[in-house]
Amino acid sequence: MSSRDLVFERKWAAWRLKIKKELGRLPDLNAILMLIGIQELGEIRRQYSKEEKQDLMHIGVCTLLSPLGYYRFVGRDAAGWPHFESLKPLPEMSVKEQELLLKKQALKYLEMSEGPDEIVKSN
């Protein structure tokens, strides 16, 4: 593993631990995607339906991949939920490579905004 990979892994682990302090459990990538989705939605609730959780993770994915040109924010619906347009397909990647791409983008998002940390504190 390169030193660059080690730095990334340390930062990723540090954010997971920071979120764990508030949630009480170590979040996986899906939980972090959902927190980013909640941040982008701007509506913090105690409970979300299973479908809403999936939608929140989708919002998280679109938010993270937008800076790379894969999605574009197009607006909000009447209920205030963000919607995105797909601009281009992701290149062929293994599941592990997709996960790494999302983790790297999530880390950039978390480092730029304390938003998900505030969401965790609110729940």
CA 9/CA 98 separation, integer angstroms = 16
The answer, yes or no, to whether residue 8 has pLDDT greater than 90, is: yes
CA atoms of 13 and 5, how far apart (whole Å): 12
Mean pLDDT, the chain, whole residue set: 90
Handedness of CA 40, 16, 19, 26 (dihedral sign): positive
Residue 123 pLDDT grade (very low, low, confident, very high; cuts 50, 70, 90): very low
Total residue length of the chain: 123
Q: Helix crossing, 95-112 with 3-23: angle to 10°?
A: 70
**Residue 50 · residue 56 · CB < 8 Å:** no
Which residues of the chain form beta strands (DSSP E)? 71-76, 82-86
What is the pLDDT, as a whole number, of residue 60?
98
Is 122's pLDDT higher than 50? no
For the whole model, what pTM was predicted?
Answer: 0.87
- The SS3 call for residue 122 is helix
Which pair of tokens denotes residue 61? 């994915």
pLDDT for 9-42, tens place per residue?
999 999 999 999 988 999 999 999 999 999 999 9
If one compares 116 and 20, the residue with the highest pLDDT of the two is 20
Per-residue pLDDT tens for 54-79? 999 999 999 999 999 999 999 999 99
